[in-house]
A and B are shown apart, each in its own frame.
Chain A
Amino acid sequence: QLQLQESGPGLVKPSETLSLTCTVSGGSINSKSYYGAWVRQPPGKGLEWIGSIYYSGITYFNPSLESRITMSVDKSKNQFSLRLSSVTAADTAVYYCARLGATSGKYFFDSWGQGTLVTVSS
């Protein structure tokens, strides 16, 4: 059974860079059928897609965050990562990694990590 697990600091200072890693087990990240993706939910707010990365390294980002996002994939470790720069309190959220279908008609999330709370505060 596919499992995804987020890891990274739970506290980040304003203006610094948030870094998270998603480790995938029970399946390979080296798949043409799926993207790795990040979704976040600020306290009291809705779900927000951050971005997606294909096994080849091709990325797609939320236009509202694009200038601050870097995503990468490490196939040898079955991991993908997110870096969000110049964070503010508005970036405080539960961050989820998830698997997103990459073929026509399958652009939905079928597996999710448990989520990790990242707080931006000095």
Chain B
Amino acid sequence: SYELTQLPSVSVSPGQAASITCSGDKLGEKLACWYQKRPGQSPVLVIYQDDKRPSGIPERFSGAKSGNTATLTISGTQAMDEADYYCQAWDSSTVVFGGGTKLTVL
């Protein structure tokens, strides 16, 4: 079955940029999206179609893809951005999530 790989944790200082990566076989041929998941809250879509930002999502959230790795970047990270982030793709009519990355804002 298809798999997406994320690092378990990333730390960033307030005001700095945080990068969270997601890799998968032939991910370059698929579209990736990203969700923010805070404890006790429902996931929120922050990036779709690799690099598009839904309305209402701050401009500091951006997405990119190079080869088989998708990257979510949060510029000027704020304390409120501390959360788990999940990438997701679609493969053979199934939804695949990455294992999630815990972003800590120190």
Contact = CB atoms under 8 A, between A and B. Distances in A.
Interface of A: 37, 39, 41, 46-49, 52, 60, 62-64, 96, 100, 105-110, 112-115
Interface in B84-106: 84, 86, 88-90, 93-100
A115 B37 CA distance: 12
Interface stretch (B16-24, B43-51, B72-80): B43-51
Contact of B42 (A49, A105, A106, A113): A113
A37 B93 CA distance: 12
Given A41-B37, A108-B48, A110-B48, 12 more contacts: A48-B97, A49-B95, A52-B95, A63-B94, A64-B1, A96-B42, A100-B95, A105-B49, A108-B88, A110-B45, A110-B54, A112-B44
A47 B43 contact: yes
Nearest to A48: B97
B61 interface: no
Contacts, number: 57
Main secondary structure of the interface of B (DSSP, over half): strand
B31 interface: yes
A114 B89 CA distance: 22
A115 B43 CA distance: 10
A60 B94 contact: yes
Contact of A112 (B42, B95, B100): B42
Interface string B19-45: 000000000000101010100001111
Contact of A63 (B1, B31, B88): B1
A62 B93 CA distance: 10
- Name the interface size band of chain B: 20 to 34
Given A105-B49, A107-B31, A37 B95 contact: yes
A7 B41 CA distance: 17
Nearest to A59: B93
B93 A60 contact: yes
A112 B49 CA distance: 18
**Lowest 10 A-B CB distances belong to which pairs?**
A107-B90, A49-B95, A112-B42, A108-B33, A46-B100, A47-B97, A108-B48, A60-B93, A46-B99, A47-B86
